[in-house]
């Protein structure tokens, strides 16, 4: 069926390596999203699967068959692009059936496929409309129906929602999930929008500079990002990332100290440069510390900016020099560092006030600042043990 495998796929354009040694094993029926910033190599990766671009190195198989050197039409795929290229002088029926008519399918078979596709994308009753009589979302559904009638094993979609307005994009996300369920086909989808990737996919492939960073279910990328890039890219607003240095009793983050026993983390010792990562929802006001099973020590901070979102308030906190300056509108930001916290919408907070916050140690991540690789996603065990003197250590001195 529709498995897609990329083995060591590399694509170079002169001195640009658009895709760098990409390995992906996509299972039959999966909805996999390639996500990453603009220019990271998502489209090129998809184009190598489609056969629109030939990889410089590597091998691609679709449904167990090597397709590396096959033309697109022989790969069992259908593509949907960002630009919805419908023929303006043809009605919906003719647009959807165009490819089938070119291939001389018989009329009954074409009708059967068009009716079924129109039903799936909910365009029944609109088959005689012209493209200029349709909304952007409807036109995109025609483009998807045109892919469906090919009955491919794999759908390849490159930012198909990018040209739609924000509300329609959110609506089409649910439509695409329904479509995936009904078609029971493999979908490989490209987007730069991490929210789209998070909501629709069975797994997401996070790409940066042509290299695969993590290939995992969305929540795994969110809860256990493999490295600093994934930590910063997945999640909106982004995870707080704060650089520091490990010392004998934990982590020195310049403005405050997070206590834990570094001896409990493999390969980490005093002097190591690490980056602490904590999501805004894992930062709590001290008064709410009882909601957290394993809070860190307290951190002094000052509220800087409040953003009420309706269902939560984003609170931009400053730690360090700012709060030492005594607060107030005229306080110098100095060397202050920002820490973003999310609190319940009913919290009454004032700008420029002193607060104490704690971190939920179970959701504190540490990364090696040099390599960017994750060290741990849970500091709980270490943070709560204030005097971890081991009995075996006795007698050493």
String of b and e for 352-362 (b: at least 16 CB within 10 Å)?
beebebbbbbb
The least distance separating ligand ADP from the CB of residue 54, rounded to whole angstroms, comes to: 12
Q: How far apart are CA 257 and CA 298, in angstroms?
A: 9
Q: How far apart are CA 294 and CA 297, in angstroms?
A: 10
CA distances from 41 to 67, 81, 136, 191 (A): 20, 16, 27, 11
The least distance separating ligand ADP from the CB of residue 209, rounded to whole angstroms, comes to: 9
Pick the closer one to ligand ADP by CB: 117 or 207. Answer: 207
The least distance separating ligand ADP from the CB of residue 264, rounded to whole angstroms, comes to: 39
> DSSP labels for 148-193?
HTT--SEEEEESTTTTS-HHHHHHHHHHHHHHHHHHT-EEEEEES-
Q: What is the pairing mode between strands 283-285 and 273-278? A: unpaired
The least distance separating ligand ADP from the CB of residue 85, rounded to whole angstroms, comes to: 18
239 within 8 A of 334, measured Cβ to Cβ: no
The least distance separating ligand ADP from the CB of residue 39, rounded to whole angstroms, comes to: 4
Pick the closer one to ligand ADP by CB: 205 or 299. Answer: 205
Pick the closer one to ligand ADP by CB: 9 or 340. Answer: 9
Q: Would you state the structure tokens that stand for residue 25, as one six-digit string?
A: 């094993």
Q: Would you state the structure tokens that stand for residue 253, as one six-digit string?
A: 């983050």
110 within 8 A of 103, measured Cβ to Cβ: no
Q: How far apart are CA 4 and CA 63, in angstroms?
A: 6
Closest CA to 39 of 55, 18, 63, 13: 18
The least distance separating ligand ADP from the CB of residue 383, rounded to whole angstroms, comes to: 38
The least distance separating ligand ADP from the CB of residue 23, rounded to whole angstroms, comes to: 17
The least distance separating ligand ADP from the CB of residue 50, rounded to whole angstroms, comes to: 12
Q: Would you state the structure tokens that stand for residue 310, as one six-digit string?
A: 């309706």
Residues paired with 171 in a beta bridge: none
Pick the closer one to ligand ADP by CB: 51 or 244. Answer: 51
Residues paired with 308 in a beta bridge: 313
Pick the closer one to ligand ADP by CB: 44 or 97. Answer: 44
The least distance separating ligand ADP from the CB of residue 75, rounded to whole angstroms, comes to: 19
- 368: Cβ contacts below 8 Å, ≥ 6 apart: 272, 273, 274, 275, 375
Q: Would you state the structure tokens that stand for residue 237, as one six-digit string?
A: 């607003």
Pick the closer one to ligand ADP by CB: 36 or 225. Answer: 36
Sheet of 240-247: strand order equals 257-259, 250-252, 240-247, 273-278, 365-368, 374-376
| Site for ligand ADP, rule CB under 6 A | 13, 16, 18, 36, 38-44
6 within 8 A of 55, measured Cβ to Cβ: no
The least distance separating ligand ADP from the CB of residue 188, rounded to whole angstroms, comes to: 13
């Amino acid at each position: 069926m529709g498995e897609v495998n990329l083995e060591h796929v590399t694509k170079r354009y002169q001195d640009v390596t658009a895709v760098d040694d990409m390995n992906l094993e996509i299972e039959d029926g999966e909805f996999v999203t390639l996500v990453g910033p603009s220019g990271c190599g998502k489209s090129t990766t998809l184009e190598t699967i489609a056969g629109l671009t030939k990889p410089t190195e590597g091998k691609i198989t679709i449904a167990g068959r090597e397709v590396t050197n096959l033309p697109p039409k022989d790969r069992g795929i259908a593509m949907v692009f960002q630009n919805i290229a419908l023929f303006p002088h043809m009605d919906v029926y003719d647009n959807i059936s165009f490819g089938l008519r070119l291939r001389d399918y018989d009329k009954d078979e074409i009708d059967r496929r068009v009716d079924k596709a129109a039903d799936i994308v909910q365009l029944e009753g609109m088959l005689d409309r012209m493209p200029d009589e349709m909304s952007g979302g409807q036109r995109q559904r025609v483009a998807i129906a045109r892919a469906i009638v090919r009955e491919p094993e794999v759908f390849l979609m490159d930012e198909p929602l990018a040209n739609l307005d924000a509300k329609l994009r959110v609506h089409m996300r649910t439509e695409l999930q329904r479509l995936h369920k009904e078609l029971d086909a493999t979908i490989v989808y490209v987007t730069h929008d991490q929210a789209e990737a998070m909501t629709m996919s069975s797994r997401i492939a996070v790409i940066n500079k042509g290299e695969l960073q993590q290939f995992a279910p969305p929540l795994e990328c969110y809860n256990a990002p493999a490295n600093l890039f994934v930590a910063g890219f997945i999640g909106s607003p982004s995870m707080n990332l704060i650089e520091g240095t490990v010392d004998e009793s934990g982590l020195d983050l310049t403005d405050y100290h997070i206590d834990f026993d570094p001896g409990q983390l493999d390969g980490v010792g005093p002097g190591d440069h690490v980056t602490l990562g904590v999501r805004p929802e894992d930062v709590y006001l001290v008064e709410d510390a009882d909601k957290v099973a394993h809070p860190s020590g307290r951190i002094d901070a000052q509220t800087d900016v409040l953003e009420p979102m309706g269902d939560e308030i984003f609170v931009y906190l400053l730690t360090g020099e700012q709060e030492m300056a005594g607060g107030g509108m005229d306080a110098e930001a100095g060397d202050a560092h920002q820490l973003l916290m999310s609190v319940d919408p009913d919290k009454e907070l004032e700008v420029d006030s002193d607060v104490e916050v704690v971190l939920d140690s179970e959701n504190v991540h540490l990364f090696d600042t040099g390599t960017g690789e994750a060290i741990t996603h849970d500091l709980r065990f270490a943070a709560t043990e204030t005097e971890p003197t081991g009995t075996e250590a006795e007698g050493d001195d």
